[in-house]
C-alpha cells in the first residue's frame, strides 16, 4: 500500500511497527503484516501497474479488532487522529469507528 508517511513518526496510529526505514513502515497484526510505502517508493514494486493517487477515492478498508473501541478512539484522538465516523453500534452486532490515514486509506477499529 502506498502512503505519505507522517513526519511525526509512523507509530502515530498503532505501536506495532516491526520494521521502518526512510521509505516504509511494516506493522505486525498477529499473522498479518501491512507494509506502508512512500508513494515514491511503490512504483518499482508494482510496475508495470500504475500507482493511483489519493484523490482517486477509497477502494479498501482495513479492519483491526480491538478490545475496546471507545478507549482506542480516545487514544487516537490524543494522537491527533480525526474519526470519519463512530464509535457506533452496527446493526450486525459490532461496535466500530473509522479514520483515514495521511495517505487516504480507511481504517476501521471494531469489537
Provide the mean pLDDT of the chain.
Answer: 81
DSSP code, position 12 = G
Domain coverage including residue 29? 2-110
Nearest alpha-carbon partner for 101 in 75, 80, 70, 86: 80
Grid cell for residue 107: 481504517
Averaged pLDDT, 15-35: 79
Whether pLDDT at 23 is above 80: yes
Q: 4-13, 58-67, 95-104: which has the highest mean pLDDT?
A: 95-104
Q: What torsion do the CA atoms of 97, 98, 102, 104 make, to the nearest 10 degrees?
A: 180
CATH label of the domain that carries residue 58: 3.10.180.10
| Digit-coded pLDDT (tens) for 26-64 | 888 787 778 787 888 877 777 888 877 777 777 677 888
Contacts of 13-21 with CB under 8 Å at 24 or more apart are 13/76, 13/79, 13/81, 13/99, 13/101, 13/107, 14/64
Residues of the chain with pLDDT > 90, as a percent, come to: 32
- This model's pTM is above 0.85: no
Torsional class of 22: left (φ above 0), alpha (ψ -120 to 50), beta (otherwise): alpha
Domain count, the chain: 1
Amino acid at each position: 500500500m502506498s502512503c505519505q508517511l507522517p513526519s511525526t513518526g509512523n507509530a502515530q496510529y498503532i505501536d506495532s511497527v516491526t520494521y521502518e526505514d526512510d521509505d516504509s513502515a511494516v506493522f505486525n497484526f498477529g499473522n498479518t503484516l501491512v507494509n506502508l510505502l512512500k508513494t515514491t517508493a511503490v512504483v518499482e514494486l508494482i510496475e508495470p501497474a500504475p500507482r493511483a493517487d489519493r484523490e482517486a477515492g477509497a477502494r479498501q478498508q482495513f479492519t483491526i479488532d480491538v478490545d475496546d473501541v471507545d478507549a482506542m478512539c480516545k487514544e487516537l484522538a490524543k494522537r491527533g487522529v480525526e474519526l470519519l465516523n463512530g464509535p457506533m453500534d452496527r446493526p450486525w452486532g459490532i461496535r466500530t469507528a473509522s479514520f483515514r490515514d495521511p495517505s487516504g486509506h480507511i481504517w476501521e477499529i471494531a469489537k
